[in-house]
Amino acid sequence: MPQVMDADRMARALTRIAHEILERNRGTSDLALVGIRTRGVPLARRIAHALKEINHEEVPTGALDITLYRDDLMRHAVGPQPVVRRTEIPFSIDDKRILLVDDVLYTGRTIRSALDALIDFGRPRSIQLIVLVDRGHRELPIKADYVGKNLPTSLRQSVQVRLQEIDGEDGVLLDDDKVEA
Amino acid sequence: MLRSRHLLGIADLTPDEITLVLDTAEAMTEIAARPIKKVPTLRGRTVVNLFFEPSTRTRTSFEVAEKRLSADTLSIAVAQSSVTKGETLLDTVRNLEAMAPDMIVMRHASSGAPHLLARLCRSAIINAGDGMHEHPTQALLDAFTIREHKKRLAGLKVAIVGDLLHSRVLRSNVQLLNKMGADVWACAPSTLMPAELPRFGVTATASIDDAVAGADVVMMLRIQHERMHGHFIPSTREYFTLFGLTADRVRRAKPDVIIMHPGPMNRGVEIDSDVADGPYSVILEQVTNGVAVRMAVLYLLAGHEAQAD
C-alpha cells in the first residue's frame, strides 16, 4: 500500500498547522482543541503540544464522540452497530474559539455531525476545522481551515491514517483497490 | 452487537453482549452531565411503553432514556381489568401494530408475555419485567452500578437477600452475575426461597449473617406483599429481626461493601432506614444508572433493527 506521508512529514505538517493557528488567532487565548474520536484525539493532543512548544501556553484539549449524532446510523445495513465511546470535554466551550480536529476530511458528514454535537455543549465564539488529510469528494458545504496535506483521490481509493498512539506507527497510506464504505 | 433484535431476558445474552451493553451505558452517562441532555440518535423512531402493571421507577426511567435519544414516545398504562390476560394482550397487539411503533417496552404480570408479543409483533420488544420471570434492564443497571464501584464483576461475593420467590429481579441478576463470574449468595426464609435456585450455581442460605459476611455487594429485595397469596412470613417485625439489613449486619461485610435495592423499599421491613440512607448505599445511583443502561439498550436494539431490514 503506497505511503503518501511518513512520520517526519506528518510531524512537520502538524508543526506548520500550529504556526498557522497562532498566526490566524494571534496567540492561544480562548482557544481550545477538540479531537473527533478516534484519530482526531491524538492529533489534537499533538497540536496542543506543538502550540505549547512555540507559545509556552497550555491549550485545553477534549475528545468528541459523534456516534450518537451520525445521520446514517439507522439508515443503512452497513456492518455492526458502531461502538459508542465517551465524549470528554472537561471545559466550557462557551465563547471559546474551538479548533475541531479530524484525521481525514472526505464527504463532510462526520464534520456536520461533530458540529451538531459541539453545539449541544454550549455556544463557542467560532469553530475552525483542522484535518491532517483532505481527500476531496465533499457532499456538504464544509471546508477545512488548516490542512496537513491535500490528497486528490478517486472514490475507489481509501485513505488510512496511522498514528503511533493507536497503530504503533505514524504514516498516511493510500489504498488503490478498496472501495470505502 | 446484540444477536437478537429483542431484549427478553438475561438468559438470551452472552457475557460479551452484557459487556457491550455496560460499555455503551458508560458512554451514555456523559450525556446526563451535559447542559442539553439530548442526542438525535433515535429521531423519527417511535417507542411505545406498554405497562400492564403499575410502575413509576422503570417507566419513568425508560421515558427519560427515550427522550434523551430523541425518540417519539407513547406511554400506555393499561389498568388491571377483569379481561383475561390472553385476550387483553392480543387486542392490544392489534392496536399497536396499527401504530407501527419501532420498539415496545413492556411490563406484564404474566411471565412470558413479552415473548408472546415478540412472536406476534414486528416491533423490537424490550422486557421491562414479566411476572416472576425476568427484569433484564434492572439486572443490567445493577451490574453497571457494581462495575462502576468495583471495576469488575468476576470474583465478587454478591449477597441477594429478601423475597426471592416472587422476584424477577433475582432471576435476572442471578443469571447475569453467574455469567460474569460472580459468587452469588441467596438468602431468604425457606418459604420465600425458590426451589430451582441451587440449579443456578447459587449458595442458598437462611442466615443473613452468613450471606453478608465478607460480601462485596449486598442486594436487598422487597417483600412483595401484593404477590403473596398465603402466609409466607409470620410478621414483618419478625422478618426484620431475622432477615432485615441493619448497620450491625453491614459491619460483617467487606469495609468497601455497597448496599443495593431495586426499590421501592419497605423501610424497617427488609432494610433499616439508617442503612438505606447510609454511606454504603448506592440505591439512588442505581436509579441514575438505570437511564444510561436503558439508553444503551434502546441504541443497540434500534441499530439491530436497521440491519435486519
Specify whether B68 is catalytic: no
Better-predicted residue by pLDDT, A33 or B198: A33
What was the pLDDT predicted at A80? 66
Q: Write out the three cell numbers for A175.
A: 489504498
What was the pLDDT predicted at A180? 45
Better-predicted residue by pLDDT, B135 or B266: B135
What was the pLDDT predicted at B158? 98
A80-84's contacts with Cβ under 8 Å and 24+ in sequence apart are A80/B1, A80/B307, A81/B1, A81/B299, A81/B300, A81/B303, A81/B304, A81/B307, A82/B303, A83/B20, A83/B23, A83/B24, A84/B24, A84/B27, A84/B28, A84/B296, A84/B299
Specify whether B57 is catalytic: yes
- Find the closest chain B residue to A122 by CA distance: B35
Q: Write the burial class of residue B273 (CB in 10 Å: 0-12 exposed, 13-18 middle, 19+ buried).
A: exposed
Better-predicted residue by pLDDT, B132 or A179: B132
Residue labelled with grid coordinates 397487539: B93
Q: What is the mean pLDDT of residues A160-168?
A: 96
Band (pLDDT 50/70/90 cuts) for residue B309 is: very low
Contact A121 B300 (CB under 8 A): no
Q: Write out the three cell numbers for B265.
A: 423499599
Chain A positions in Cβ-Cβ contact with residue B308 (cut-off 8 Å)? 77
d(CA B227, CA B218): 23
Band (pLDDT 50/70/90 cuts) for residue A71 is: confident
What was the pLDDT predicted at B82? 41
Contact A69 B300 (CB under 8 A): no
d(CA B12, CA A46): 44
Q: Which of B174, B165, B159, B285 is nearest to B223 (CA)?
A: B165
Specify whether B85 is catalytic: yes
d(CA B190, CA B195): 9
What was the pLDDT predicted at B307? 54
* DSSP secondary structure code for residue B10 in this structure: G
Q: Write out the three cell numbers for B87.
A: 385476550
Band (pLDDT 50/70/90 cuts) for residue A76 is: low
Specify whether B147 is catalytic: no
In a mutagenesis test of the A interface, which of B3, B34, B294, B295 is the best target, namely the one with the most A β-carbons within 10 Å?
B34
Tell me the CA end-to-end span of chain A in Å, nearest whole number: 18
Chain A positions in Cβ-Cβ contact with residue B306 (cut-off 8 Å)? 73-77
Q: In this structure, are residues B97 and B121 in contact, taking their beta carbons and an 8 Å threshold?
A: yes
SS3 B59: helix
What was the pLDDT predicted at B99? 82
Q: What is the mean pLDDT of residues B96-114?
A: 89
What was the pLDDT predicted at B230? 59
Mean pLDDT across chain B? 90
B16 to chain A, any CB pair closer than 8 A? The answer is no
Q: Could you report the per-residue pLDDT of B163-194, keeping only the tens digit for each?
A: 999 899 999 999 999 999 999 999 999 999 99
This prediction's pTM: 0.91
What was the pLDDT predicted at A74? 63
Q: Could you report the per-residue pLDDT of B16-34, keeping only the tens digit for each?
A: 999 999 999 999 999 988 8
- Smallest Cβ–Cβ distance between B306 and the set A74, A86, A120 belongs to A74
d(CA B190, CA B206): 7
Residue A73 has pLDDT above 80, yes or no: no
Q: What is the mean pLDDT of residues A141-152?
A: 97
d(CA A139, CA A52): 35
**Active-site residue, from B19, B57, B246, B267:** B57
A168-171's contacts with Cβ under 8 Å and 24+ in sequence apart are A169/A7, A170/A6, A170/A7, A170/A10, A170/A11, A171/A3, A171/A5, A171/A6, A171/A7, A171/A10
SS3 B234: coil
The single-letter code of the amino acid at B247 is A
| C-alpha dihedral, A146 to A150 to A156 to A159, nearest 10° | -60
Q: Could you report the per-residue pLDDT of B37-92, keeping only the tens digit for each?
A: 999 999 999 999 999 888 889 999 999 999 999 999 998 877 654 445 555 677 77
Better-predicted residue by pLDDT, B294 or B241: B294
Chain B positions in Cβ-Cβ contact with residue A120 (cut-off 8 Å)? 34-36, 38-39
Mean pLDDT across chain A? 92
Specify which of A78-82, A133-137, B198-202, B237-241 reaches the highest per-range mean pLDDT.
Answer: A133-137
Residue A22 has pLDDT above 80, yes or no: yes
Q: Could you report the per-residue pLDDT of A51-61, keeping only the tens digit for each?
A: 999 999 999 99
A76 to chain B, any CB pair closer than 8 A? The answer is yes
d(CA B168, CA B164): 8
The total of other beta-carbon atoms located within 10 Å of residue A135's CB is 23
Identify any residues that bridge with B187 across adjacent strands, giving them in sequence order: B161, B205
**Active-site residue, from B6, B59, B135, B157:** B135
Identify any residues that bridge with B48 across adjacent strands, giving them in sequence order: B74, B104
**Active-site residue, from B85, B115, B267, B304:** B85
Chain A positions in Cβ-Cβ contact with residue B20 (cut-off 8 Å)? 83
What was the pLDDT predicted at B96? 79
Q: What is the ipTM of this complex?
A: 0.84
Contact A69 B41 (CB under 8 A): yes
B295 to chain A, any CB pair closer than 8 A? The answer is no
What was the pLDDT predicted at B229? 60
Q: Which of A52, A41, A42, A40 is nearest to A15 (CA)?
A: A52
Residue A12 has pLDDT above 70, yes or no: yes
Q: Which residues contact B261 (CB under 8 A, 6 or more apart)?
A: B219, B220, B221, B222, B270, B271, B276, B281, B283, B286
Q: Could you report the per-residue pLDDT of B140-170, keeping only the tens digit for each?
A: 999 999 999 999 999 999 999 999 998 999 9
d(CA B52, CA B111): 12
Contact A69 B306 (CB under 8 A): no
CA distance B309 to chain A (A): 8
